[in-house]
Amino acid sequence: MIIQVITAFVIIVTIYLLVKKYETRMVLIAAGLLLCIISLTPMSALNAFSERMVSAPLIQAICSSMGFAYVMKYTKCDKHLVLVLSSFLTKLGFFLIPTAVILTFFINIAIPSAAGCAAAVGATLIPLLIAARIHPAIAGGAVLCGTIGSMLSPGLSHNPFVAHMSNMSIVDLIARHSPYSLAVGAIAAVSLSFVALIKKEYKISQNVFENGGGTVASEEKERPNYLFSTAPFVPLIILLLPFIESFKEFQITVPAAMLIGAIYALIITRTNPSTITKEFFKGMGNAYGDVLGIIIAAAVFSAGLKASGVIDSFIGFLIHSPEFARWGGTLGPFLMGMITGSGDAAAFAFNETVTPFAQKFGYEIPDLGMASAISGALGRTMSPLAGATIVCAGLANINPMEIAKRTAPGMIVGVIFIALIML
């Protein structure tokens, strides 16, 4: 009984520290190690740390994808992709808002970092939207809503994580949850458009920029390079080839696809090979420290919860009350994403501890795992503390809270959709 009380206190303190924006990895590792020590099994935490450090499928997919993303940023291929796709938007009128969301959504598949995609896309699209007399908060919100598209990226950390747990290939997992990921993207686009209509923030007068918002300083327009713009999608095309009957035998790993994409970018941009190599490995190193670091820390926290007996009790409760898993696995990461600006820690913790037992309470592992991941992303997309929100707000010269208030309706509808339809 004493251990359960202490465990509950540690969990509450952990959530408090995450909300207060303390270092996520430090908080999760410290909490997990403390719980294991209290349970007299300190090696459980250390073993979990060691085992997750060398999880090959996660390291390969996540690190190689981030290496490719760094190459795209250095060569500016991602920027040229945005310039090419945004060049036809000026004549869309009101439909510029949902189109900007959809455009960002698909670019985010190739550039899976939410903040990185927001910076690359927002630098072009946000000034374009504002110039079309759309409120700066709606302009920023359009780009922010589109950052849900990373759910369809093989390089997103959650996809290899859940795929490994489900004994599925990453591409098969993405194909399984893509209808739901596309649906929440559509919900976000439609919702933001309705917000703009209801608040009359389309075709606004110039005086709206005087207080709290502003036009973005105009830059000399850069001409897009159509060849450069093809590079971000090369790995995705290679990975999707096996789904075409003629290329069914063509199987390739995520790292191989990312490496081919980087070589393609090297050839078409004629960049120094030495520099490209350094950028690729720099991205891989940062991916291990930043992304895999959270996964490793979540594994330690999970080990602590298991050692304390909380997980066994929670699984037993879910077996008798399976509906709680539907809402706990979606609203939990959603609320943590909204409060902290990142739904990753909550989603990884849930998927480490609860998702492996999904079948015991009537769900499939890939469905429950990705529902948790998507919900965390939705919560992050309505958080004023999220990196992507801050980037969009800076580009639109407006308070991040103003953007979050406009994206919130779509995100709330989206998480309810995931809980009721996907699960």
By percentage, how much of the chain surpasses pLDDT 90?
Answer: 38
User: Which of 112, 68, 59 is CA-nearest to residue 288?
Assistant: 59
Which of 11-20, 164-173, 406-415 bottoms out in mean pLDDT, i.e. has the lowest?
Answer: 11-20
Interacting residues of 91 by C-beta distance below 8 A, sequence separation 6+: none
Average pLDDT, the chain: 86
pLDDT at 185 over 70: yes
Q: What is the pLDDT of residues 337-354, one digit of tens each?
A: 888 787 787 788 888 888
Residue 129 or 85, more confident: 129
Average pLDDT over residues 273-292: 91
CA 293 to chain centre: 16
3-state helix, strand, coil in the chain (%, to 5): 80, 0, 20
pLDDT, residue 417, reads: 96
SS3 202: strand
Return the residue matching tokens 């309470």.
361
Q: What is the pLDDT of residues 109-122, one digit of tens each?
A: 888 878 888 887 88
Average pLDDT over residues 356-362: 87
Average pLDDT over residues 187-202: 92
Average pLDDT over residues 3-26: 86
383: region left, alpha or beta (phi > 0 left; psi from -120 to 50 alpha): beta
CA 194 to chain centre: 24
pLDDT, residue 278, reads: 95
pLDDT, residue 403, reads: 94
Q: What is the pLDDT of residues 201-259, one digit of tens each?
A: 887 655 554 444 554 444 456 788 899 989 988 888 888 787 777 777 777 888 898 99
State the amino acid at position 374 in one-letter form: I
Average pLDDT over residues 256-284: 93
Joined together, the tokens standing for residue 106 give 């698909």
Q: String of b and e for 382-409 (b: at least 16 CB within 10 Å)?
A: bbbbbbbbbbbbbbbbbbbebbbbbbbb
pLDDT, residue 374, reads: 96
Task: Tell me the β-bridge partners of 202.
Answer: 134
Joined together, the tokens standing for residue 263 give 């070589």
pLDDT, residue 167, reads: 92
